[in-house]
Amino acid sequence: MKKNLLPLFFILIVFSFSSCTKIKREYYPLTSINLQMIENVTPEDRSIYFHFYTIELYSCLNYLIRYDFSRDNGNLTINLRDVEKNDLCINGQGPATASMNLGKYDNGTYQINLTVAGETNTGTLEVSDLGYVLHFQTLNKLNLIADTMFRIPENIFWGYVAYPKEASAGIANQVLDSLESHGASPHNLQHGYYGYFTIEENGEITLLDKSDANFSINFIYKQEDPDDNIKDVIRYFNNHHLNEVYIFVRTSKGLVFNSPMNI
């Protein structure tokens, strides 16, 4: 019986090519980095993330910060070593990044030893019912986006209504009216940094999730079990104003709701 050797031929070619081709890794020295705390919320639990990104921008969007990380009874040892160039470049200017899930923390004070390219930063992480506070004796090659992060309160949701042209502003405000008619009420939080959003001293809301549309309205509401009401509102505006507004919502249980991106 005659066998088809063509698949084997292609396998041998691929093997020979991969054996002769070596992936060349390139590394760049770290200069200075930003540290951003984020409280990750899920329906089951909450944990804290450290998100690091370089102040320097690179020619690809997917460069990585190489690091070593250990946690001992909540005390952290982090060594940020250098920047690794990714072999497959995603075109565009952006920082090199690294995100670390530190896990769940009980209230207390924990030691941090954070090294950036050989420069040591010694400090503490204080955890309380109100939030998380970073204290460092000195900052060497390290910039804190915020040294204090408040916890996300229970039973809230936040997001934005985006619209492409000023003429749709009335419809965008109708979205907020509809959320309120479904039982949500505006939540006036203490000004400060909450990870997913910041409340400025003048009450303005700045979101981590930013809209690319020409216009948008940010909001924070409080409501128990708002999921079905949010879905009802999004469904209505999908059916009647699909190309006029885009709705994006996060909840304090970590759920995300959004309408199709058609604007």
pLDDT band at 22 (very low <50, low <70, confident <90, very high): low
Give the tokens for residue 223: 């409501």
Alpha-carbon distance of 175 to 162, in angstroms, equals 10
| DSSP secondary structure letter of residue 88 | S
On the CB side of 97, CA atoms within 13 Å amount to 12
Q: What is the dihedral of CA 161, 164, 166, 169, to 10 degrees?
A: -20
pLDDT per position as a tens digit, 89-118: 999 999 999 999 999 999 999 999 999 999
Q: How many CB atoms lie within 10 A of CB 82?
A: 14
9 has a pLDDT exceeding 50: no
pLDDT band at 43 (very low <50, low <70, confident <90, very high): confident
15 has a pLDDT exceeding 80: no
Give the per-residue pLDDT at 188: 87
Give the per-residue pLDDT at 8: 44
Q: Are 82 and 30 in contact (CB under 8 A)?
A: yes
Give the per-residue pLDDT at 215: 96
Average pLDDT rounded to a whole number, residues 77-94: 94
pLDDT band at 24 (very low <50, low <70, confident <90, very high): low
Q: Which residue ranges form the domains of the chain, and what is each CATH number?
A: 27-148 (no CATH), 156-258 (3.30.70)
Give the per-residue pLDDT at 260: 81
pLDDT band at 10 (very low <50, low <70, confident <90, very high): very low
Give the per-residue pLDDT at 74: 95
Q: Residue 237 phi/psi, 5° resolution?
A: -75, -25
14 has a pLDDT exceeding 50: no
214 has a pLDDT exceeding 80: yes
Average pLDDT rounded to a whole number, residues 64-76: 96
On the CB side of 195, CA atoms within 13 Å amount to 22
User: 196-223 burial, b if ≥16 CB within 10 A, otherwise e?
Assistant: bbbbeeeeebebeeebebebbbbbbbbb
180 has a pLDDT exceeding 80: yes
pLDDT band at 221 (very low <50, low <70, confident <90, very high): very high
| DSSP secondary structure letter of residue 133 | E
Give the per-residue pLDDT at 233: 96
Give the per-residue pLDDT at 5: 44
Give the tokens for residue 1: 């019986």
Average pLDDT rounded to a whole number, residues 128-144: 96
Give the per-residue pLDDT at 261: 53
78 has a pLDDT exceeding 80: yes
Give the per-residue pLDDT at 25: 77
